[in-house]
Amino acid sequence: MGNVGSKAWRNYYRSNDQQDTQTYLVDHMTNTCLVLPAAGTVEIFGRDLSAQQRADRTACFIDVASNAGI
């Protein structure tokens, strides 16, 4: 994602031990961003939602966008 994407989506990451070249440990957030082509980022889902809840909410956004002609 990189620094620009991380800031745009208010995400957090930090490399824990930059001196150790044998391992790659990163402290980070886990989320899913729903981006619609004509609207941009419309929702950021945290990891606390189930797959079904995420799918239901995504379907709602898609229905609204379709009805609005987006």
Per-residue pLDDT tens for 15-54?
A: 766 676 777 777 766 778 898 888 888 888 888 899 999 9
Beta bridge partner(s), residue 13: 28
User: What pLDDT was estimated at residue 5?
Assistant: 54
Q: How far apart are CA 33 and CA 47, in angstroms?
A: 11
Cβ neighbours, 10 Å, residue 46? 10
Of 36, 35, 53, nearest to 44 by C-alpha is: 35
Tokens (6 digits) for 26: 């990163």
CB 42 within 8 A of CB 35: yes
User: What pLDDT was estimated at residue 63?
Assistant: 93
pTM for this one?
0.60
* pLDDT digit string, tens, across residues 1-23: 555 555 565 666 667 666 767 77
